[in-house]
Amino acid sequence: MARRPSAQPEGTAMALSDRTTDNRLLYGMLAPQLPRLIGAIAATALATLCAFAVPLMVQTMIDSVFGSAPLPPFRSIRLLVAAVGGVDSLRAHLWLGGLLIIGFTLVDSAGVFTAGRLSAVAAERGARVLRDRLYGHLQSVSVAYHAQASSGDLLQRCTSDLDTIRRFFAIQLSEVGRALAMVVLAIPVMLRLHPGLTMVAVALLPVAFGFTYRFFADVQKAFERSDEAEAELSALLQEHLSGIRVVRAFAREPWEFRRFARRNEYHRRVTMKLLMLLARYWGTSTVLVIIQLGAVLVAGTLLASRGEITVGALLVFLMLEQMLLWPIRQMGMVLADLGKARVAAGRIAEILAQPSEDADPQLAGPGTLQPPVRGKIEFRNVSFAYPAGQQSPVEREARAPTIAELSFTIESGQTIGFLGATGSGKTTVLMLLARLYDPDSGEILIDGVDITRIERRWMRRHIGFVMQEPFLFARTLRENISLVRRSAHEMEVFAAARSAAIHEVIESFQEGYETPVGEKGVTLSGGQKQRVAIARALLTGSPILVFDDSLSAVDTRTDARIREALFERQATTILVSHRTTTLVRCDKVFVFDNGRLVEQDSPRSLLSTGGHFARTWQQQHGAQNADL
């Protein structure tokens, strides 16, 4: 069964998401935290009310307690004064007024703290859920996606971008609520005190809002460029650190440094543009705030000198003006962080928009069967070409499939050798067998069942796979070998290691099987890494074992020991190798050339025909084939 036709264009690793998707991602992150957000809103509302009560109490003390003006025209203030015994009581006990102001300030501070804490907890929990979702999704997308995506860029999206979203919700969300509450409450209070002075106080608000909106539009673009430059820098750094030994071996440090310096300089330039944009905003908004405060002070002083407004009311106006203007100014930072969060959400949404392996239109479907696997493998007229972004230049130029009309049968329990030049299709056959890709046409059968009908995880669980480049995790040797079977007994781990000719080597280490191997097994030699990976595959006890040139880094004596152990197992075994001595005891050898199977027979028969296998043997061993 061929893979399903594509429902989307190829060649793009990440499709751009629209703003609706970005907003949906932000909303979905916090929706489960709604009770905490409601609590944060309530705490913000309480804090804002107390913040407004402070200047009104100051006006009351100045105008009505120290002076003889009537109480401010606010019912809440009048009720509060009445509750403490009226104006006369406040005159007799001035400490009561101070105590009320301190009390409102403390409640304001407690409300701000509570709102910030609830927002931070909601943000942290939402970030944890999104981080788990993102990591899980990256585990589920196809190998083709990972082959085209930059690991450094994915790392940037999973860490820095996600943290940008977390910081916005933890820090700025409560600020948004407080700023809105300030604007909604400040203007009505000012209108009650003096409508004319209120008009002066809000004269520059439209200018401030317009300037902030323009800044929001510009900062999103600037941050996106800065974020992408940082992602490129991270990818380059990760690549360099992963290949540090190669760089050192060829003395390429100066060249790599210049390469990094160019990327770093570009990152500095785009980030400086972002910082200059922020600096212009803060400088301009500060000027607007000072002008607005100065206008209120001048106009209020003139009105107070004519007796149209009390000194207490003027102080209230100045305090309320600051409470009004500073949040609006702060909205620039809020919007800047919102812009960053939306850009970050868009980059994360691009990953989440990628279909999982089971839903990928490039693949044939998840499969539902879990049949017993004995190990018979059949390829029937199988053709396959990698997606455009993964093809070699030769394949793109020739527009030829990687493998074409491939047919062969491997009986259960047989040991088959694969031989062929680099790029001849050997590894591709193994990738198709493990369902990392699905064929464009033709069928692959396992014990007579179409592989596309078998559940992927079930299929892979029955294949012990050793890759061309063995990957070891930064854990102990025991953990790396038992990774495939956590419940494996110690003696089973030892037996697998003996079969892989690595047990004695491990025992010679000071910490034995508890020896940490470092990142990617950096503390081991190439041959030792291959043998640990072989032990891991053998521990699976799988009916199908696949070794993709996995003995290339071991010496011939160790190669022979491992092959001897493999032949004793009753498993279908595929050995890919460029070394003919590795394949000489196989039941059959399949020879590949340009994606086609050009020879298949026993090694002895192939030597007698004088074909590709025989020529390769002659090149490696001369005329000495009598041992066969």
0.95 cut: is pTM over it?
no
Strand-pair partners of 516: 476
| pLDDT at 21 (0 to 100) | 60
Q: Are the C-beta atoms of 343 and 512 separated by less than 8 Å?
A: no
Q: What is the mean pLDDT of the chain?
A: 83
Per CATH, the number for 19-358 is 1.20.1560.10
* Dihedrals phi, psi of 599, to nearest 5 degrees: -145, 145
- C-alpha 574: how far from chain center: 36
- Measured distance CA(281)–CA(15) in Å, rounded: 33
Q: Of 28-32, 98-102, 137-141, give the lowest mean pLDDT range.
A: 28-32
Cα–Cα–Cα angle for 615, 616, 619, nearest 5°? Answer: 85
pLDDT at 364 over 80: no
Please identify, in words, the CATH class of the domain defined by 375-462+545-554+579-628. Answer: alpha beta
Residue 173 confidence (pLDDT): 75
Mean pLDDT of 532-561: 86
What pLDDT was estimated at residue 602? 92
Where do you find CATH 1.20.1560.10 in the chain?
19-358
Query: What's the whole-number mean pLDDT along residues 560-572?
Result: 85
Range scoring the smallest mean pLDDT among 181-190, 369-378, 482-491: 181-190
Confidence (pLDDT) at 372: 92
Spatial separation of the C-alpha atoms in residues 26 and 349, rounded to whole Å: 10
Tens of pLDDT, residues 172-225: 777 777 777 777 788 888 888 888 888 888 888 888 878 877 887 787 788 878
CATH 3.40.50.300 intervals, the chain: 375-462+545-554+579-628
pLDDT tens track for 50-60: 888 888 888 88
In the chain, pLDDT over 90 holds for what percent of residues?
Answer: 15
Structure tokens at 473: 């995790």
Mean pLDDT computed over 338-342: 80
